[in-house]
Amino acid sequence: MATENKNLSAYDKATIPNAKDFRFGIVVSEWNSEITEGMFNGAMDALIDCGALKENIIRWNVPGSFELTFGCKKMIASAKFDAIIAIGSVIQGETKHFDFVCSATAQGIKDLNLHFDTPVIFCVLTDNTMQQARERSGGKHGNKGAEAAIAAIKMADLGNA
């Protein structure tokens, strides 16, 4: 397993650009809210820890992970952001729905990165069980939201270089 014995939220603050001058958008799926709220909190904590100002972080909610692409696209069109984080959680069920949602969401976020100049960070957990999702949204493997926030800061810095 790729995350075994790894803490996803570990970062060396000395190697992260200061985020005080950046504006971030966060689009959060309401589906599996226990997980997405944990990742949102991890992202917020990391952004603030790295200098981002609370008033420069805008949150929008969408119903599910499939809707993240549209939410991010509308956010890009609404105002100037240095980076946007798409937060979602899809947990394997008994049908192929999981495969379709995961694939479409990943492709949609990829397409946004190709078509717009605002980096969109993929922070969507695609786990087999709720327990795996808990372990990656503030549990024993840290918090994928914090990892996405660090990626957002680095990409915002790259975009402003």
Enzyme catalytic residues: 97
**Are the C-beta atoms of 55 and 20 separated by less than 8 Å?**
no
DSSP conformation letters of 70-133: HHHHHHHHHS--SEEEEEEEEE--SSTHHHHHHHHHHHHHHHHHHH-SS-EEEEEEEESSHHHH
Identity at 58, one-letter amino acid code: I
CA 26 to chain centre: 7
Nearest-angstrom CA–CA distance, 63 and 33: 10
